[in-house]
Amino acid sequence: MTAQHELGRDWGLYIDGQWQTSSTTDRISSISPSSGKVIATVSQGSSADIDKAVQAARRASRSWASASPFYRAEVMNKASQLIAGEREVLARALADDQGKPLVSEAYDEVDELVLYFSMAAEDAKRQSGSMPHSIDPTRRVLQYRVPLGVVGVISPWNWPYTMGAEVFAPALAAGNSVIWVPAPSTAACSALLVEIFVEAGFPNGVFNFVTGLGAVVGDALCAHPSVDGIGFVGSVATGEKIAVRAAGKRQILELGGNGPFVVLEDANLEKAAAAVMDASFLCAGQSCTAGELFLVHRSVKEEFLEMVASLTKESIHLGDPFSPETTMGPLNNEACADKFDEHVKDAIAKGARIVQGGKREGGFPTTLYAQATILDGVNPDMLIASSETFGPVVPILEISSDQDAIELVNRFGFGLTSAVFTSDLSRGLSYAESVDAGWVNVNASTNLWESHLPFGGRSGTLSGRGRVGGSSVLDAFSEPKVVILQL
């Protein structure tokens, strides 16, 4: 790490253009999931700190909103360049604080982060208006978009950089001022990111950063009367609480899923098995888009299972995130690891068979290293089929038809992503149009997505409302304004 930017220290709050102490003296220790060591401390903010940040954002909002989109784009591009210049520092901090393997995952997240800022810069310049006709020939009508004002962003620990930035970068580019509340368990690497990108020159108060417990600072942010919009990426349970607390505000809620992954009898099994490696083991399965339920046609199930087991043994290497050979690191926290244990135990009790893995791996500095796990004989009544496990699991449930798959996918209530493997694109399209999911991949992993496209849960499901990705956030956190000129 450079002498200027280092992870291992005590971090304050960034409010109104300055790093400040919290109104409390309480601290949160950032503990590396891979080593078990305290790598930094961060402020445990309060509702008073949120109020201070919101007031600063409100004061800055009008001038930032009225600034030229080209000026805002210039600042966003400078932020993108600064982040790219500190790629090594940010990637190492991410591996230490979150647990992602440095070589196979952490660098990629930083690279995607760079893209979010540069993409937001371009989208800011492309927001346009129109000149609709008036019923009166002596009038002229202007219609264009203006920012909401103040936007709060609450982000998760599984992708600490990108899940926050996919919301706050376009929100800033659209002309909003922002308060970011990151997940406590990865707040240290988030603070390091803030230190780097605010050097781009955001005016005081335009971007603010408050760390603390979600039930305190997150709740205060959602309920604050001077906040106009809330963006949240995280669990279904927390999202439902936020929807209530932020009632009346514009909301983007990108929530959970269990990524149903369907393999039909005409699928290319080699490609499907290879896709499982990314679907189930990227980020140790701790992704809302992870494949966590595999619906495999009975005529190919045994062959597919054998391929997946073989590939997992060959390609998934659990270990120290800083080792170049590691392809999967530890789970991030004990609550996530406990859920992994619970779901596997429940599946075994109800008749599933462990093909591989099934428990935590010993011999590491912490107990958070979970084995890559494959289960056969899964049925719909098991937690591992009906819930979001958020761990490195491949639960295989046998189906006998396309309709079986569609009914099971729609039964569980999630509606974020799904995937289907088939050699018949007509069957693939039929599946995609029949399942209640906001995003469906045909012959690709559930974890495949392109960041410029609208991403979010299907209406009426548990997986949220609104869309992230590309210009979707600019549209969500802006609104049309109409001006009539009487000639």
Question: Where are the CATH 3.40.605.10 domain residues in the chain?
Answer: 10-255+466-486
Token representation of residue 19: 């790093």
Residue-level pLDDT at 317:
98
Q: Look at strands 229-233 and 207-209 and give their pairing.
A: unpaired
Which amino acid does the sequence have at 77? N
Q: Can you name the residues that pair with 395 across neighbouring β-strands?
A: 375
CB 238 within 8 A of CB 214: yes
Cα atoms in the Cβ-side hemisphere of radius 13 Å centred on 328: 27
Distance CA 46, CA 48 (A): 5
Distance CA 347, CA 394 (A): 12
Which amino acid does the sequence have at 344? V
pLDDT score of 478 more than 70: yes
Residue-level pLDDT at 470:
83
CB 177 within 8 A of CB 61: yes
247 burial class (0-12, 13-18, 19+ CB within 10 angstroms)? exposed
Q: Report residue 360: phi and psi, to 5°.
A: -80, 150
| Whole-number average pLDDT of the chain | 97
Residue-level pLDDT at 6:
82
Distance CA 138, CA 97 (A): 62
Residue-level pLDDT at 8:
86
Taking domain 10-255+466-486, whether its CATH number is 3.40.50.720 is answered by no
- β strands within 18-176, DSSP E: 18-20, 27-31, 38-43, 139-147, 150-154
pLDDT score of 227 more than 80: yes
Distance CA 249, CA 246 (A): 6
pLDDT score of 3 more than 70: no
The pLDDT confidence band at residue 5, using thresholds 50, 70 and 90, is confident
The residue from 189, 288, 292, 336 that is catalytic is 288
Residue-level pLDDT at 72:
97
pLDDT tens digits, one per residue of 421-438: 999 999 999 999 999 999
Distance CA 398, CA 280 (A): 18
pLDDT tens digits, one per residue of 391-430: 999 999 999 999 999 999 999 999 999 999 999 999 999 9
pLDDT tens digits, one per residue of 452-462: 999 999 999 99
Residue-level pLDDT at 2:
45
Stretch 47-56: mean pLDDT, rounded?
A: 98
The residue from 166, 254, 292, 388 that is catalytic is 254
Instruction: Report helix angle 162-173 to 107-126, nearest 10.
Output: 20
The three-state secondary structure class of 231 is strand
One-character DSSP codes across 357-425: --SB--SSSSS--BPPEEEES--TTSHHHHS---SSEEEEEEESSHHHHHHHHHHS---SEEEEE-S-H
The CATH architecture of the domain made up of 260-450 is 3-Layer(aba) Sandwich (3.40)
One-character DSSP codes across 329-375: ---S-HHHHHHHHHHHHHHHHTT-EEEE--SB--SSSSS--BPPEEE
pLDDT score of 343 more than 70: yes
Token representation of residue 282: 């990227």
Which amino acid does the sequence have at 164? G
Selection from 290, 302, 314, 310 nearest residue 263 by Cα: 302
- Catalytic residue flag (residue 270): no
pLDDT tens digits, one per residue of 283-335: 999 999 999 999 999 999 999 999 999 999 999 999 999 999 999 999 999 99
Question: Where are the CATH 3.40.309.10 domain residues in the chain?
Answer: 260-450
Q: What is the pTM of this model?
A: 0.96
Residue-level pLDDT at 83:
98
- Catalytic residue flag (residue 283): no
The pLDDT confidence band at residue 1, using thresholds 50, 70 and 90, is very low
Q: Within 225-330, where are the H helices?
A: 236-245, 269-281, 301-315
Residue-level pLDDT at 95:
98
